[in-house]
Amino acid sequence: MIQEIDPYKYDVEYKHLQPGKNDYVLPFCENGLIVRAGEELSFFTCADTGKETDYMTYLFSIDEMRFFYLAVHEETQFCEQNKMTISGYRLIKRQELRRLSPKHLAFAAVTAFQLDGWYRNNRFCGRCGKVLRQDEKERMLFCGECGNRVYPRINPAVIVAVTNGNRLLLTKYRGREYTNYALVAGFSEIGESFEDTVRREVMEEAGLSVKNIRYYGSQPWAFADNLLAGYFCEVDGSDEIRMDEEELSEACWLDREDIPVEYTDSSLTNEMICVFKNRQNEQS
């Protein structure tokens, strides 16, 4: 999965640091992240960005590599100011990072995208409307006027592999760019446990009751600002699918041998499908 970056170590603890010239800077504009041109993902260092260091915010570290955030208005303006030529940089979108390498830098970039969204969407206090300021002790924004404190918001969601003997329930979302097979998935609502979300989402998307709900694993999914919890469970009673036609374009039972999904080392969904597919002659 994308967050598994061994032997590198991700260190998320917030520190109030000033960037050094060899630290990485991740400049974000409305259209994406500015990186060095080239096939491999590569970031600019603070030495490349002149006087902008005053406005940078420490994000996190991976081993000795430190990453700093910089919000910019527009990529061309930023690159002109820092004397970068058009052929020397490129702009990347969040979804591209599923395919880019090296993996530890792709993980850093997608995680930074999530923090960029948080900083960008929390410039003003939601309670009184005044400008929010960055705290120096922890990753928190506060309002000097009314005392409101804003922490990064993570949205918990579940991924559910529903099994039926040798078959797995696979779905396809309606109207999305991503057209591969997926598993039942959905956000936890206020007042629900993960297991409640599993039962509700499977009922809503496929009209099925489930039993024997078992936790499999989790994944920070910065592509959609989620923290995913993966569960296996078994259909309970009728296996007749009643699909949610607004959300899905397809929902079907597929035999283990017929699942057309290959392992990609990025998502929890993909890993759970492949775990089921590759287990021979046993119940999920």
CB under 8 A, 24+ apart: contacts of 134-137: 134/57, 136/16, 137/14, 137/16
Question: Which single residue is written with the structure tokens 């979300």?
Answer: 197
Of residues 16, 93, 127, 242, which one binds Zn ion by CB under 5 A? 127
From the CB of 134, what's the least distance to Zn ion, in Å? Answer: 15
Which C-beta is closer to Zn ion: that of 5 or that of 132?
132
Provide, rounded to whole angstroms, the least separation between the CB of residue 218 and Zn ion.
33
- CB of residue 122 vs Zn ion: minimum separation in angstroms? 11
Taking the C-alpha atoms of 264, 226, 204 and 171 in order, what is their torsion angle to the nearest 10 degrees?
Answer: -10
> Scanning residues 97 to 126, which ones bind Zn ion (CB under 5 A)?
125
Residue 145, interface with Zn ion (CB under 5 A)? Answer: yes
279 binds Zn ion (CB under 5 A): no
- Closer CB to Zn ion, residue 124 or residue 178? 124
* Beta carbon of residue 145, minimum distance to Zn ion (angstroms, whole number): 5
Instruction: Give 93 or 130: the residue with its C-beta nearer to Zn ion.
Output: 130
Q: Determine, following the binding rule CB under 5 A, whether residue 47 of this chain makes contact with Zn ion.
A: no
Minimal distance in Å, beta carbon 132 to Zn ion?
A: 8
Choose between 148 and 164: whose C-beta lies nearer to Zn ion: 148
Q: How far does the chain reach from its first CA to its final CA, in angstroms?
A: 20
Closest contact distance (angstroms) between CB of 220 and Zn ion is 29
Q: Is 149 in the site for Zn ion (CB under 5 A)?
A: no
Of how many residues is the chain composed?
A: 284
Q: Does 148 bind Zn ion (CB under 5 A)?
A: yes
* Residue ranges binding Zn ion (CB under 5 A): 125, 127-128, 130, 143, 145-146, 148
